[in-house]
Amino acid sequence: MIKRIIAWYRKQTPEAKIMIFMIPLLLLAILLNWNRVWKGISKGFSFFSK
């Protein structure tokens, strides 16, 4: 199973490899700072409701 994943990963273009690596890191960063993200989203929506 792991060998298949590694073989699949090696076939990807360099750009795809970066995206495969960065998307989980981005999701982790959002989860760790969820309160700040939510404050920013709520401020953005409150701007439109004024």
Domains of the chain by residue range: 2-49
Top pLDDT among 7 and 49 is at: 7
- Asked if pLDDT for residue 28 goes beyond 80, the answer is yes
d(Cα 18, Cα 37) in Å, to the nearest integer?
24
How far from 30 is each of 20, 23, 26, 37, 50, CA to CA, in Å? 16, 11, 6, 7, 27
Q: Which residue has the tokens 């993200």?
A: 37
pLDDT at site 50: 62
0.75 surpassed by pTM:
no
Residues 8-23 have pLDDT tens digits of: 999 999 999 999 999 9
